[in-house]
Amino acid sequence: MASATSRQFLLIDGDDTLWENNIYFEQAIEAFIDFVGHSTMTREQVRAALDEVERMNVHVHGYGSAAFTKNLQQTYERLAERDVQPQDIEHVMQLGQRIAGQPLTLIPEVAETINYLAGRHDLMLVTKGHPEEQRLKIERSGLESLFTATRSSMRKPSIPTGRSPRSGSSTPLAPG
Ligand SMILES: [Mg+2]
């Protein structure tokens, strides 16, 4: 046990720090671009259109896979080159919805590291996203008991421009 003077209160991010997150969004985006199959837009242009919809909607839809799913749908409606059928929307929505069903995969050596730190410091898990979705991830991580506290908020204090709202940025939180 560390002495009181060296014991610190550490804020630790969840998505893409403790467990995989962004890879599932990336997979969904690739499948979305395939499905759009645009005749003139490049993959990068379709992706840029999605990024633009996400930026516009972040203050309305917030974060997480449900917000992402709405953004996919809206982007599809903008870009579709044929009459949009209900089954097309259903397919696009499933691409987003299945993200929440992905297994929680801890990043290598995270469990050992958090165990080590928890013996020496007070740890607070701070995640950004839909609170219920984040709560389920924290539970499934198996790490919850090692944290003094956990907090999920719809947004972190600052959102750097140009960053995707899809996953938490690495912006450090100021203490207090
Ligand atoms: Mg993160």
pLDDT for the residue 161: 46
The CA distances from residue 49 to 32, 81, 140, in Å, are 12, 14, 33
Beta bridge partners of 153: 128
- Is residue 125 within 8 A of residue 151, CB to CB? The reply is yes
pLDDT for the residue 165: 55
Listed by start position, the domains of the chain span: 9-19+105-167, 22-101
Q: How many helices (H) and strands (E) does the chain have?
A: 6, 3
DSSP element (H, E) containing 151: strand 149-153
Low-confidence ranges of the chain (pLDDT < 70): 1-5, 155-176
CA of 83 to the centre of ligand 1 (A): 38
pLDDT for the residue 160: 44
- Is residue 35 within 8 A of residue 77, CB to CB? The reply is no
- Is residue 105 within 8 A of residue 19, CB to CB? The reply is yes
CA 63 to chain centre: 7
Candidate CATH numbers 3.40.50.1000, 3.30.2350.10, 3.40.50.150, 3.40.50.300; the one for domain 9-19+105-167: 3.40.50.1000
State pTM to two decimals.
0.81
CA of 129 to the centre of ligand 1 (A): 10
CA of 111 to the centre of ligand 1 (A): 16
Question: What architecture (CATH level 2) is domain 22-101?
Answer: Orthogonal Bundle (1.10)
